[in-house]
Amino acid sequence: MRRSRLLLSALALGAAITLQPQASFADYPDKPISFIVPFGAGGGFDQMVRVLVPKMEKHLGVAIAIKNNPGAGGRRGSILLYKSKPDGYTMGLNYFVPFLVDKHILGKKPGLDMEKVSVIYKTSHSRHFVFVAKNGPYKSLKDFTKADKSIKFPTTGIGASGWIAASALGAEMGFDSAFVTGYKTLSTAALAVARGDGDAGVGAIHHFGGFTNEVQPLVYLGAKREAHYPDVPTIAELGYPQLTALGAAHVLAAPPGTPEDRLEVLREAARKAARDPEFIAWGKETATDIEPTEPKGVWEEVEETGKMFSSLKPLFEKSKN
Amino acid sequence: MLDAMLLAGTRLADVSSILMILAGATMGVIFGALPGLGSVVALAIALPFTFGMDPMLAMFLYAGIMSSVTFGGSVPAILLNTPGTPPNAATCFDGYPMAQRGEGARAISISATSCFVGSVGGAVITIALLPAVKPIVFAFGPPEFFWLVAFGLVMIAFAAKGNMVKGLIGGGVGVMLSMIGFSDMFGAFRFTMGSDYLWDGIPLVPFVVGVFAVSELINYSSRGGSTATTDVSSQDMDWRHQTLQGVADVLKRPIVWMRSAAIGSGIGIIPGLGGGVAAFMSYVVGMQRTKEPELYGRGSVEGIIASETANDAKDGGALLPTVAFGIPGSPDTAILLGAFILHGLQPGPVLLRDNLDLVYALLFGIVVSQVATSGIGFLSAPLLARISVLKSRWIAPFVLTLVIVGTYMLRANILDVAAAITAGYIGYVLRRYGYPLITIAIGFILGPLAEKSFLQSMLISDGNFIIFYKEPISLILMILTLGTLAVPLVSAWRKRGQKKSREPAPTDRRPRGLFRGPIICAVLLAAAILAALFNAQTLPAEVQLMPVVFGTITLALLVLDIAGEVSPAVARWTAPALTDMWNNSSSGTDEAQAPERPAPWGPVLRVIAMIATYFLLVYTLGLYAVPVIAITAYLVFQAAVKLRYALLAAIISSVIVVISMQLLRVDVWTGVVSEIIPGYLGGAISPDL
């Protein structure tokens, strides 16, 4: 009895294995998939991928190899992904922001044709806070607009995320933003705020969290309040919902021309992975907004961001004198 | 505090902890020894495996890796003049000459001992400074940073032995090369010539590996012989005795290593300076303080101690701002920061209050790992040192393969290999004509730091120079820097007239004429700098400031240099006068830099062509196909090795290369020809130039 049951289940298993290829998705995927991360190992993007990928592997049934390809502010890796073979065995993160910066702010031809990118799915979005020194004169964002001088932001560089956020905020709310650039990371920029090199900073909790005695956040650049700082208002609450597109969207993509049925297989795996309890727990821990979004929503965001960036072009020209 | 120490200590006395540290140490030594790879890659690979692991155990693994990489990186620096990680470049200056003398084991042993005293010293200093970390980190803003870097740049004058003018030119060339790239401070492309590859500037690792390893490869391959000078053979060597001697060398010089450990951990604490600055700063300070400056650069024991002790001590120091504020003091602590966050720990005051035991665990782990690492060092020194007495024609193809694979693996970018080789060509020509590599390296590392800190200070103060001496620390650093610069000038002025009677300058027997190597080289350099100066005119004012200042000074020095080459009278006047002022060495010739006559250009060009061919073959046909053929061909035709041995050696080394790349999950480069064997030959995409 027992043996026959064993035999039966073995048969069923065998049938399941042999029948698999006849399933609707043919035999894709049947070999490891490469995942290109356009940033170095250990950074924010990379960590997200390293948490997400095992969940995707579980649903796809094949290994996914992570390849870090950093350089040029995320451009190099995204371009490599763009140029890879569109057979469904190469996917990665496509970071749209630097290309939007090239197109709308730097006035440089982007290294890839953004519209052609095969968007798979957006899993999450890393957003920033605006913070000030505790002993400084600014107690709310409103105070920025009342100041009779420009608000000085220590940040990494012109065209980088901190500069974009502060410029966009100033443009929308009506205050002048000035910059002390050249800090290596947003964490060193946060130290600069704590030390008094400038008035205000832009960064995530892991950037300014070491200075909780010296700095305090004024606003979260998101739509929902961040769990670590439930008393800090969101930029949407303050009446600027368009600014929630700032920050780093984690968009999974594949090279242009990847067959739609294969994209759908990957998309389904991403959908499930983004809803995995462990992934959600990681989002809570690291203050990353988990935001499962279908391609349509991603394209809308890209367009919104592009529009916002175009309005920053005059500020960029001004900063170059 | 004591509780936390005790807790960390108890956890350390556990088999799994020790095993973890050992695993980290082994991994670190290997990653350090491979040029291109370093602690950043090793930590990043280990990171995902520690997810879900007990945080304390994970810290032990990280500590094991971090502290052992520096020693690993010193081994190829000593034996092959190939720094395993950029900070080890400072070890090349004395480690390699020592190996050339046949004292490779002694040098490795000095390095291992220095690393040990360095990490112990660094850990002790770090524990002592833990309560004071906030005032220290907060005190170092851009103006203080600027003076510190300016001090380093002033030290170039002391580092330039032999011909002062050429030394300073080398520093200027290093600074100018470091200016290439997108200036994100002001959003402008500088000297990138439209190349996307140069967006981030010339990458540090390929630059350092190229300038040191490739230029030396050209040097010894064109000359023949072995790394060690020809009269040394393995039979005569008592490698074991050398190993013991190396330990004694370090222990006998407590002042040197204590000073180096203090410099290293001090620089480690200040975020943004890093291991390269620590090692070079310690080296040049050592050079200035020593009683035997003439030995520096020629196999000085002190030189290796200075560089390696500081390099290891910085790990402890760099931990402080990382745990106290979440600001990494070095690239590896940046990864460590990611690890903290992955384990749900937010560095900052809370971590110092609630998780102090983890901080001690890291520090203790660093020390224990260093015990293991030094053990590996002492055991392997006698074996490894044999490499330096092998004939260069045997090792050359393997070193080149190591350079190609190492620089490729770091970012999986084949153009990095081209960058390393180009840097090697330039480095070879420059050192051949007496421009010392040390000043080029210091300029390249410090240039961008000087520019950033200066411009940031000006942005903070809205253009008011008072910021540079307003605070006590910046004032002290300014006096120190300007004083260091002025003391030799003053003493030279006071001694004027006295020295007139010194021995007549050695009669210059070099050939005359305008179309000689040194003159052509200087003229080409001047032309390149002139072109940069013209190009800079199109840039925003802030972006052109630094290159214009340094370019103009370098150009003026080059004019002096050319004049000296053309007319011996000028040379007698300029070179020794400037040189004497700073380092009391009486010789104004290039002798110190070029102890041996360089090979004639014929063999040199042949080696250069061979290296280029090897790269082009790799570029088109990939890393699976080319190394086996290239190494075999070289060994058979150039080194007269029997075909079957050559093939065996080539296959073994290629298999090691491929396996290590697969372990690291790096895509093995398959070459740009259209796909022939999928996944093995052809079909790779070259990054944009």
Q: What secondary structure does DSSP assign to B281-324, as a single string? A: HHHHHHHHH-S-GGGTTSS-HHHHHHHHHHHHHHHHHHHHHHHH
Direct distance between the N- and C-terminal alpha carbons of chain B, in angstroms, rounded to an integer: 54
Query: Percent of chain B having pLDDT more than 90?
Result: 26
Q: What is the DSSP string of B377-408?
A: HHHHHHHHGGGGGSBHHHHHHHHHHHHHHHHH
pLDDT of residue B189: 84
Residue B569: strand pairing partners? none
Q: How far is A239 from chain B (nearest CA, A)?
A: 30
Amino acid at A202: V
pLDDT score of B232 more than 70: no
Pick from A157, A190, A206: CB nearest B185:
A157
Closest by CA position to A150, among listed B445, B139, B547, B459: B459
pLDDT score of B597 more than 80: no
Residues on chain A touching B45 (C-beta within 8 angstroms): 41
Q: Can you tell me whether residue A69 is helix, strand or coil?
A: coil
Residue A289: strand pairing partners? A125
With CA atoms as reference, the chain B residue closest to A282 would be B342
Portions of chain A given CATH number 3.40.190.10 = 129-245
pLDDT score of B47 more than 60: yes
Mean predicted confidence (pLDDT) in B215-229: 76
With CA atoms as reference, the chain B residue closest to A161 would be B184
With a CB cutoff of 8 Å and minimum separation 6, the contacts of B103 are B242, B299
Query: What is the Cα–Cα distance from A234 to B346, expressed in whole angstroms?
Result: 22
Query: What is the Cα–Cα distance from A314 to A305, expressed in whole angstroms?
Result: 16
Do A182 and B184 make contact, defined as CB atoms within 8 angstroms?
A: yes
Pick from B43, B184, B271: CB nearest A181:
B184
The CATH H-level (homologous superfamily) assignment of domain A129-245 is: Periplasmic binding protein-like II (3.40.190.10)
Residue B80: strand pairing partners? none
pLDDT of residue B301: 92
Do A67 and B665 make contact, defined as CB atoms within 8 angstroms?
A: yes
Mean predicted confidence (pLDDT) in A8-27: 49
State chain A's mean pLDDT as an integer.
85
pLDDT score of B176 more than 60: yes
- Residue burial B340-367, b: 16+ Cβ < 10 Å; e: rest: bbbbebbbbbebbeebbbbbbbbbbbbb
pLDDT of residue A154: 93
Do B540 and A194 make contact, defined as CB atoms within 8 angstroms?
A: no
| pLDDT, tens only, B409-464 | 877 889 999 999 999 999 999 989 889 888 898 899 889 889 999 999 999 998 89
Encoding tokens for residue A242?
């368009």
Closest by CA position to B159, among listed B575, B545, B441, B439: B439
Q: How far is A91 from chain B (nearest CA, A)?
A: 14
Residues on chain A touching B188 (C-beta within 8 angstroms): 320
pLDDT of residue B406: 85
Query: What is the Cα–Cα distance from A95 to A200, expressed in whole angstroms?
Result: 26
pLDDT score of B587 more than 70: no
Closest by CA position to B453, among listed A33, A248, A188: A188
Closest by CA position to B480, among listed B206, B244, B7, B147: B147
Portions of chain A given CATH number 3.40.190.150 = 28-125+247-310
Which of the given ranges, A72-76, A171-175, B149-153, B520-524, has the highest pLDDT on average? Answer: B520-524
Sole residue written with tokens 């060690």: B228
| pLDDT, tens only, B474-529 | 999 999 888 887 877 776 677 665 544 444 444 555 556 677 888 999 999 999 99
Pick from B272, B348, B687: CB nearest A209:
B348
Query: What is the Cα–Cα distance from B655 to B651, expressed in whole angstroms?
Result: 6
Q: Can you tell me whether residue B543 is helix, strand or coil?
A: helix
Test the B interface: residue of A53, A81, A206 with most B CBs within 10 Å: A206
Pick from B141, B349, B687: CB nearest A76:
B687
Q: Can you tell me whether residue A67 is helix, strand or coil?
A: strand
pLDDT score of B536 more than 80: yes
Hey, is the C-beta of B460 within 8 angstroms of any chain A C-beta?
yes
pLDDT of residue B588: 38
* Residue scoring higher pLDDT (A265 or B596): A265
Least confident of A207-211, B557-561, B664-668: B664-668
Q: How far is A68 from chain B (nearest CA, A)?
A: 7
State chain B's mean pLDDT as an integer.
83
pLDDT of residue B355: 81
Do B455 and A182 make contact, defined as CB atoms within 8 angstroms?
A: yes
For residue A277, name the pLDDT band (cuts at 50, 70, 90).
very high
pLDDT of residue B491: 67
Specify whether the CB–CB gap between B46 and B6 falls below 8 A.
Answer: no
Which of the given ranges, A4-8, B129-133, B568-572, has the highest pLDDT on average? Answer: B129-133
pLDDT score of A12 more than 60: no
With CA atoms as reference, the chain B residue closest to A318 would be B186
For residue A19, name the pLDDT band (cuts at 50, 70, 90).
very low
Amino acid at B345: L
pLDDT of residue B349: 73
Query: What is the Cα–Cα distance from B622 to B296, expressed in whole angstroms?
Result: 41
Chains A, B: CB contacts within 8 A come to 158
> Kind and range of the H or E element at A242?
none
Using CB atoms within 10 A of its CB, is residue A225 exposed (0-12), middle (13-18) or buried (19+)? middle
pLDDT of residue A294: 95
Residues on chain A touching B347 (C-beta within 8 angstroms): 209-210
Pick from B40, B196, B411: CB nearest A69:
B411
The CATH H-level (homologous superfamily) assignment of domain A28-125+247-310 is: Bordetella uptake gene, domain 1 (3.40.190.150)
Amino acid at B238: D
Pick from A42, A75, A213: CB nearest B44:
A42
Residue A120 φ/ψ, nearest 5 degrees: -90, -60
Q: How far is B37 from chain A (nearest CA, A)?
A: 13
Specify whether the CB–CB gap between A112 and A78 falls below 8 A.
Answer: yes
pLDDT score of B161 more than 70: no
Q: Taking the C-alpha atoms of B364, B366, B370 and B376 in order, what is their torsion angle to the nearest 10 degrees? A: 120
Residues on chain A touching B47 (C-beta within 8 angstroms): 41-42, 50
**ipTM for the complex?**
0.79
Do A206 and B341 make contact, defined as CB atoms within 8 angstroms?
A: yes
Pick from B47, B344, B460: CB nearest A42:
B47
Mean predicted confidence (pLDDT) in A79-101: 90
Q: How far is B124 from chain A (nearest CA, A)?
A: 23
pLDDT score of B285 more than 70: yes
Amino acid at A133: A
Q: Where are the alpha helices (DSSP H) in B567-600?
A: 568-583
Q: Can you tell me whether residue B205 is helix, strand or coil?
A: helix
Mean predicted confidence (pLDDT) in A2-11: 53
pLDDT of residue B578: 55
pLDDT score of B585 more than 60: no
With CA atoms as reference, the chain B residue closest to A45 would be B338
For residue B230, name the pLDDT band (cuts at 50, 70, 90).
low
Mean predicted confidence (pLDDT) in A21-49: 75
Q: How far is A194 from chain B (nearest CA, A)?
A: 8
Least confident of A42-51, A183-192, A196-205, B9-18: A42-51
Do B665 and A66 make contact, defined as CB atoms within 8 angstroms?
A: yes
Mean predicted confidence (pLDDT) in B201-205: 87
With a CB cutoff of 8 Å and minimum separation 6, the contacts of A192 are A154, A180, A183, A198, A201, B141
pLDDT of residue B503: 47
With a CB cutoff of 8 Å and minimum separation 6, the contacts of B617 are B626, B629, B630
Test the A interface: residue of B39, B49, B65, B186 with most A CBs within 10 Å: B186
Do A182 and B185 make contact, defined as CB atoms within 8 angstroms?
A: yes
Do B460 and A157 make contact, defined as CB atoms within 8 angstroms?
A: no
